Amino acid sequence: MKKLNYQELNKFVVTDIIHPFYEKRLLSIKAMNLESIIKRKNPYLFKAKNIQTAGDLAKYILDAFLSSQEETIFGDLMENLAIHICGKVFSGYKAEKGKFRSVDLIFEKNKKLYIVGIKSGPNWGNSDQINTMKKNLEKAKQFIRNKFKGITIIKVNGCMYGKDNQSHKKDKNSLKLGYYKICGQQFWKLISNDDQLYKKLIKPLDKEAKKRDEVFQGLYVKKLNELTKNIVELFYKKNNLDWDKIVDYVSKSSN
């Protein structure tokens, strides 16, 4: 086991997390257009939320689009950060692509081999998705057992934020699940041996994000104005949103 070099880690957060996150956000918002997005949205929800102006509808659509994009983008980048940290401390490595489904990280600690499926937060999937992960972790364990004979193999669902009451306790619930669910502070401690790492990661994120967000906010305002103009042109009638037009645009049969 090695100790983390926090100066190097801070540089990694800036260059490999913040920079690509904002670059992908900028590309995403530039490519976004009303026609493609609104057809994937629920028009009845718009009406149920009592949206009455083009500006409100544009903001709702834009914010929903960005939120879904950002969750995926940032989740993938943070997963890479977790693998990087574990690699520095425990020589952990990313599971070979396509070899073990649901396994993102493998490392040895205290004479135990951990196979980890990394998720953003604890409430990441439905029962079918969770059962699939559970089966895949077990398949990986059985395959790896032949290579690492005699070593205890621990299956983990690691969540980068959040809490779980049974996250790191060896109790009946974890034994029943067949794996350990380790979240938030305990997850970052598991892969780094630093129980304060979960808070230390905030500092480099905060400083660099402030610099990058200025450019993004400028583009956000331009895109919001563009969408508002498009909505007025497409869906306004007598200075009001025409809900028949909106529903037709999304759902009307072409036959």
Q: Report the percent of the chain where pLDDT is more than 90.
A: 67
Stretch 50-55: mean pLDDT: 94
Q: What is the pLDDT of residue 176?
A: 57
- CA distances 240 to 46, 55, 252, Å, are 14, 12, 21
Cα 177 to Cα 22, 128, 167, 181, distances in angstroms: 38, 14, 11, 9
Question: Higher model confidence: residue 8 or residue 150?
Answer: 8
Nearest-5° Cα angle at 133, 131 to 135 = 70
Q: Does 230 have pLDDT greater than 60?
A: yes
pTM for this structure? Answer: 0.85
pLDDT bracket for residue 194 (50, 70, 90): very high
- Residues 114-145 pLDDT 10s: 999 999 999 998 889 999 999 999 999 998 88
What digits encode the pLDDT tens for the residues 68-109?
888 889 999 999 999 999 999 999 999 877 678 899 999 999
- Mean pLDDT, range 188-206, rounded to an integer: 92
pLDDT of 209 above 90: no
Paired sense of beta strands 105-109 and 112-119, if any: antiparallel
Average pLDDT in the chain? 89
pLDDT for 223 equals: 95
CB 22 within 8 A of CB 73: no
Percent above pLDDT 70 for the chain: 94
**Segment 27-32 mean pLDDT:** 91
Per-residue confidence (pLDDT) for residue 149, from 0 to 100: 78
Per-domain boundaries in the chain: 6-251
The answer to whether residues 155 and 138 touch, using CB atoms and an 8 Å cutoff, is yes
Mean predicted confidence (pLDDT) in 206-219: 85
| Residue 25 clears pLDDT 80, i.e. is over it | yes
The pLDDT of residue 175 is 52
3-state DSSP percent of the chain in helix, strand and coil, to 5: 60, 10, 25
* pLDDT, average across residues 241-255: 90
**Residue 207 above 70 pLDDT?**
yes
Encode pLDDT of 152-184 as tens digits: 999 999 999 998 755 445 555 545 567 899 999
**pLDDT computed for residue 253 by the predictor:** 87
